[in-house]
Amino acid sequence: MDCYTEDCLPGYYTDTCSQYNDAYCNEHGSLEYGRESDGLGCTCNSFSDNIFCEDTSQYVFPEGKRGVVYTSYYNDSTTDSYQVYEDFSMKEFSESYSTIELNSILYVPQNTDLQFQLKSIPKAELYIDGNLVVGSLDDRFDCEEKGESVVTTPRQYFTRGNHYIKIKLLPGCAMYNQCISLKWKFYRWYRNNPSDFEDIPARYLGFN
């Protein structure tokens, strides 16, 4: 506690000044602090349109290494189709009896809780950092029309930095719709009160 102001020392918050704000202010501001602070954001010198002073026009990954990698294959040793998409917004496919994968490195810009919503036709699996988080697969050789699958991950804490996203889908035959999208809730960006799932910004997505 600051003995002169009877407020918390810079970076600390809560009525007892016992918690430290771990926000990353992107070198454009300083940590919010004080007895009345929620300890989630920053006081910005510039780029004050968001609570982390982030220049949202800047990409994390270099040009040529941005986006989401799409591959399809019939066996693990051969890639039959390859493409790079800008992001995880709704993508449509027309593949027969193959395996589809979407892979990307997701840079999480703050220590925060996240949730993900995966929509697909047919069913798909979502892996984060190598672990199956949610979803299931249909029969690879199925040729029946499927309805849309919507699955949501539990709210989970993520540390700031790179995390690895993989979506896997077995589309069956190409007679019927095939599509995938992935959205998130970035809790801390909205002071832990996001309204709905939204597209993951392309500036946070890349690959090696």
pLDDT computed for residue 5 by the predictor: 53
Return d(Cα 9, Cα 104) in angstroms, integer: 40
User: Can you give the residue ranges of every domain in the chain?
Assistant: 1-58, 68-206
150, pLDDT greater than 70: yes
Query: What is the SS3 assignment for 63?
Result: coil
pLDDT computed for residue 6 by the predictor: 74
Return d(Cα 147, Cα 155) in angstroms, integer: 26
Summarize the confidence of residues 60-84 as an average pLDDT.
93
Alpha carbon 59 to its chain centroid, in Å, reads 14
Q: Model-level pTM?
A: 0.93
Summarize the confidence of residues 43-48 as an average pLDDT.
98
1, pLDDT greater than 60: no
2, pLDDT greater than 70: no
Return d(Cα 192, Cα 72) in angstroms, integer: 37
Predicted confidence (pLDDT) per residue in 182-198, tens digit: 999 999 999 999 999 99
| Residue 129 · residue 145 · CB < 8 Å | no
List all residues 6 or more positions away from 2 whose beta carbon is below 8 Å from its beta carbon: 8, 9
Return d(Cα 135, Cα 31) in angstroms, integer: 38
| Phi-psi sector, 191: left (phi>0), alpha (psi -120 to 50), beta | left
Domain spanning 68-206: CATH superfamily: Galactose-binding domain-like (2.60.120.260)
Q: Would you place residue 20 in the very low, low, confident or very high pLDDT band (cuts 50, 70, 90)?
A: very high
Predicted confidence (pLDDT) per residue in 75-95, tens digit: 877 788 999 999 999 999 999
Closest-CA residue to 70 (of 116, 124, 109): 124
Predicted confidence (pLDDT) per residue in 98-109, tens digit: 999 999 999 999
For the chain, what is the radius of gyration of the CA atoms? 21
